[in-house]
Amino acid sequence: MMKRLLLASALVALVPALFAAQATPPAAPTPAGASPRNPPAPKGPAPKFPDGTPDLSGVWSGGGAIGDLAAGLPKGETIPILPEAKKIMDARQSKDDPEANCLPTGVPRVAPYPWRIVQTPTHTFFLFEGNIHSFRQIFMNGKHPADPDPTWYGHSIGKWEGNTLVIDTVGYNDLFWFDFRGHPHTEKLHTIERYTRTDLGTLVNEVTIDDPGAYSRPFKVTFNARLRPNDELMEYICQENNQDVHHIQGPAGTP
Amino acid sequence: MYVRPGLIACACLLATLPAVAHHSFAAEYDANKPVTLKGIVTKVEWTNPHARFYIDVKDAQGQVVHWNLELGSPNVLTRSGWTRKALSVGDQVTVEGAAARDGAKMASARVVTLGDGRRVFGGSSGGDAPPPVPAK
């Protein structure tokens, strides 16, 4: 009993310390054996702007694939990869991962660094702290050009369906990988991301991946992003001292 | 019973710790090649994608070996309480980490014992999660 009480009181005492750690960086490095890096997501209802538009703004982490795209599949499903695409994936080497080479993640991959959503009436911006220190722009109620030049983040248009921001993107290049494992795609890739802020601290991203060049049918993966209250993006210039790529060995794999 | 709050924190948070690298940890470092290095800091690079520091370590034959040690990114380190002044040239430090796969004198620094004796996380990729704690 005493043991349980002590444990409970230690936990209660710890909670304010965790939240304080987000507001201002802690004064000293995290001691080995404790890590305040990942406080739990805050609770509360999802906010809205005065005009009723859902407010997705804030600093988030996660919300996409990192190690393995398949982590976002419903239980029991597999990725319907075509044989040719599987061959490409199996031949990929970790050293060639664009992410390791300080190139963009593309969609729906995320880097393990925070990112910020900024909403304006005409554009929604995703600002990425890391890898790379770049941004996506989503044209609200816009139209895709007839023949967009292939790019890392493609051409994105956004609209609201109830409380869900639906982002339709085409015009991707075929250079980025979906994850550390090296799931590939072609320039035929078309993604539909559906972002729903289900509560104050959670943003659910359900992505439909449609790429007849690499996958036999469209499929959905879902990832949750977590709010980082009081955090701010910091500068991250990956190219300044990237020594890793010369020492990376072996086939593409998990983190 | 003595309860270590730090270990309780780690038990609560272990499940949500992300990887913090822009590259596959396992492709660069070998978790099965653990190293413990005691040496003198010769250079500190507070740079991206990883902060690095270099130490001179005397081997068993008394020869000085120069090691290149990888930390997390400056942002990861700052958010977990580091500053660029936590390590200074001339500090005597001990590093626990994983050596590079390719045999280079490089390691991912999981835990660093700083010049003042504090034992802190290196914020590095893959190997920096707190050690698992038994449920009870």
- Give contacts of B53 with chain A, Cβ < 8 Å: none
Tens-place pLDDT, residues A196-239? 999 999 999 999 999 999 999 999 999 999 999 989 999 999 99
pLDDT of residue A254: 64
Give every CB contact of residue A97 below 8 A, 6+ residues apart in sequence: A177, A180, A182, A252, B23, B24
ipTM here:
0.79
- Give contacts of B120 with chain A, Cβ < 8 Å: 28-32
**Cβ atoms B82, A25 nearer than 8 A:** no
What's the full length of chain B, in residues?
136
Tens-place pLDDT, residues A84-119? 999 999 999 999 999 999 999 999 999 989 999 999
Spatial separation of the C-alpha atoms in residues B61 and A251, rounded to whole Å: 37
Give every CB contact of residue A207 below 8 A, 6+ residues apart in sequence: A64, A72, A107, A108, A191, A192, A193, A194, A220, A221, A222, A223
- Give contacts of A255 with chain B, Cβ < 8 Å: 19, 21, 24-26, 125-126
- Give contacts of A245 with chain B, Cβ < 8 Å: 23
Spatial separation of the C-alpha atoms in residues A145 and A170, rounded to whole Å: 9
pLDDT of residue A37: 52
Distance from the first to the final alpha carbon of chain A = 41
Return contacts of A36-41, CB within 8 angstroms, 24+ apart: A36/B9, A36/B13, A36/B80, A36/B81, A37/B13, A37/B17, A37/B76, A37/B79, A37/B80, A38/B13, A38/B16, A38/B17, A38/B18, A39/B13, A40/A201, A40/B16, A41/A200, A41/A201, A41/A202, A41/A226, A41/A227
**Cβ atoms B119, B111 nearer than 8 A:** yes
Tell me if B4 and A255 make a contact (CB, 8 A cut-off). Answer: no
pLDDT of residue A200: 97
Tell me if B130 and A32 make a contact (CB, 8 A cut-off). Answer: yes
Task: Place B19 in a pLDDT band, splitting at 50, 70 and 90.
Answer: very low
The pTM score is 0.82
Minimal CA separation from B62 to chain A, in Å: 27
Give strand pairing partners of A137: A125
Q: In the structure encoding, which two tokens stand for residue A247, read together?
A: 């020492």
Give strand pairing partners of B68: B54, B106
pLDDT at A5 over 50: no
- Give the H or E element holding residue B98: strand B92-100
